[in-house]
Amino acid sequence: MTKKKTILVVDDDASIRESFEKILKRTGYEVLTAENGEEALDIIRQQSVDLVLSDLRMPKMGGLKLLKASKTLSPEIEVILMTAFGDVDAAVEAMQDGAYHFIQKPLKRSVILMTIARALEKRTLVLENQSYRRLLKAEFHFGNIIGESLAMRSLIAKIQQVAPSGASILILGESGTGKEIIANALHTASSQADKPLIKVSCAALPETLMESELFGYEKGAFTGANVRKLGRFELANDGTIFLDEIGDMPTHLQVKLLRVLQEGEFERLGATKSVRVNVRLISATNKDLVEEVQEGRFRQDLFYRLNVITLEIPPLRNRREDILLLANHFLDKYNQKYNKSIQGVSREAISSLETHNWPGNVRELESAIEQAVILSQSNLINLTDLPETSRQDKITSQSSITIPLGSPMKKIEEQVISETLKMTKGNKELAAKLLGISSRTIYRKLN
């Protein structure tokens, strides 16, 4: 179903605002009203507006200033100015500043409706061309997802498959694995890419503020609520909302979220009327939501709604072949930030990076490289430049294996491979690298 276009009527004459509101609503438009330019700009800042129909002469802020400010906030917005006076100079200035049309009162209903329809058609064509140009550049943008391991190639392929669907997506992964980057990629590759992506960290918001942040509030809803505030769901309308660490959401808000997913509506705090929204939900957590459901901390019905499609990000220790790739990516980033020209990572430092267990995952690796870039006094990152914590579980060549004399070669090979796998915490790719053989050989020798 095509979303109704939203028209903002701005006039200091209440009777004119009411007249336009009735006509435009009967024609099938969503209508917002404001009595001056300043009030209109507040509305444009808070929600999506397709077209502004404004009087030229108003107190506080007139139509020409509103035109310029509207185009600054939203370049694609169309503006039609109206006046009861023969302001030729103003008309010329308005057209130069990007107004779609400048018309003189009294207005014929058929003329104003035709002018609005044509202005909205122009806006639609502009937005479609912008979308087409993006598609010409690349069908998908995954530049910030770094990884050549089989696990990451599989993840990227799944993202490409599910991003255009519009379905709710649950991202699972330990802290620091890059869940927000995956959410960005999903939004960028979706049909809502030119719409807002609103991000909310459920873990960072105090429970007392979470409801008002997510769903907004009306003026007078509580002490200090001096103006209406739109919540994150309203700001994300027609786009995507990313709820990070959703496992930390209080149970009473889980009920309200479930209603949004089921019915597409909610009430602001202090409101009596529902607000309808069309939002794609991407959520993420480092918790085991199945366990949270079993323990009664997370609603089962909400879990099923969130879990339409699941993307699981592997921890860094399970994709060690990506570590050097990531390290070089961060090296380039922090060379630029700190005006350094470090050319690479020493062999000893690489060995330490590839054998560290990375409990903080990619975020910890990025922090380690940033520190190393700051401390390095040579053209290479050396082991001593890395944080001490990332050097503590380094595998050394001192590790030894006891093999009984006379053992068959097959048994010796199996024992060496098994002990190496223990040292690399089960990572076959790293074990193969340390032994100087292929990972395929490891599989063959152990089977």
- Check which CATH number belongs to the domain holding 275 and give it: 3.40.50.300
Q: Are residues 254 and 295 in the same domain?
A: yes
pLDDT bin (cut points 50, 70, 90) of residue 119 is confident
Task: Check pLDDT > 60 for residue 132.
Answer: no
CB 81 within 8 A of CB 63: yes
User: 432 versus 387: which is more confidently predicted?
Assistant: 387
pLDDT bin (cut points 50, 70, 90) of residue 395 is very low
From 312, 342, 365, give the residue that closes a domain: 312
265-266 and 275-276 as β-strands: parallel, antiparallel, unpaired?
antiparallel
User: What pLDDT, in 10s, does the model give residues 242-289?
Assistant: 999 999 999 999 999 999 999 999 999 988 899 999 999 999 999 999
The mean pLDDT value of the chain amounts to 85
CB 168 within 8 A of CB 186: no
From 250, 280, 312, give the residue that closes a domain: 312
240-244 and 280-285 as β-strands: parallel, antiparallel, unpaired?
parallel
Query: Which of 48-52, 224-228, 292-296 is predicted least confidently?
Result: 224-228
Which residues have C-beta within 8 Å of that of residue 261, sequence separation ≥ 6? 168, 281, 302, 305, 306
CA geometry: angle 297, 199, 362, nearest 5 deg: 85
Is position 398 within any domain?
no
pLDDT bin (cut points 50, 70, 90) of residue 329 is confident
Q: What is the mean pLDDT of residues 141-167?
A: 86
Is position 34 within any domain?
yes
Q: What is the mean pLDDT of residues 388-409?
A: 62
Q: Tell me how far apart the alpha carbons of residues 365 and 358 are, in angstroms, rounded to a whole number.
A: 7
Is position 223 within any domain?
yes
Q: What is the mean pLDDT of residues 391-406?
A: 56
Q: Are residues 361 and 416 in the same domain?
A: no
In this prediction, residue 392 carries a pLDDT of 57
In this prediction, residue 398 carries a pLDDT of 45
Cα 414 → chain centroid: 47
Name the nearest CA neighbour of 427 among 359, 362, 355, 364. 355
| CATH code (residue 384) | 1.10.8.60
Q: What is the mean pLDDT of residues 4-24?
A: 92
Strand partners, 169: 282, 309
In this prediction, residue 130 carries a pLDDT of 53
User: 222 versus 361: which is more confidently predicted?
Assistant: 361
User: What pTM, to 2 d.p., does this model score?
Assistant: 0.59
User: What pLDDT, in 10s, does the model give residues 162-204?
Assistant: 999 989 999 999 999 999 999 999 999 998 898 999 999 999 9
Q: Are residues 287 and 376 in the same domain?
A: no
Q: Tell me how far apart the alpha carbons of residues 115 and 159 are, in angstroms, rounded to a whole number.
A: 42
Q: Are residues 246 and 364 in the same domain?
A: no
Task: Check pLDDT > 60 for residue 138.
Answer: no
In this prediction, residue 84 carries a pLDDT of 75
User: Does the bond joining 387 to the residue before it have cis omega, within 30 degrees of 0?
Assistant: no
Provide the b/e sequence for 304-314 (b: ≥16 CB within 10 Å). Answer: ebbeebebebb
Is position 142 within any domain?
no
Burial of 357 (0-12, 13-18, 19+ CB in 10 A): middle
Task: Check pLDDT > 80 for residue 224.
Answer: yes
Q: What is the mean pLDDT of residues 103-116?
A: 85
Q: Are residues 334 and 416 in the same domain?
A: no
Query: Which of 72-81, 138-147, 310-319, 428-437 is predicted least confidently?
Result: 138-147
pLDDT bin (cut points 50, 70, 90) of residue 2 is low
Is position 403 within any domain?
no
Which residues have C-beta within 8 Å of that of residue 377, sequence separation ≥ 6? none
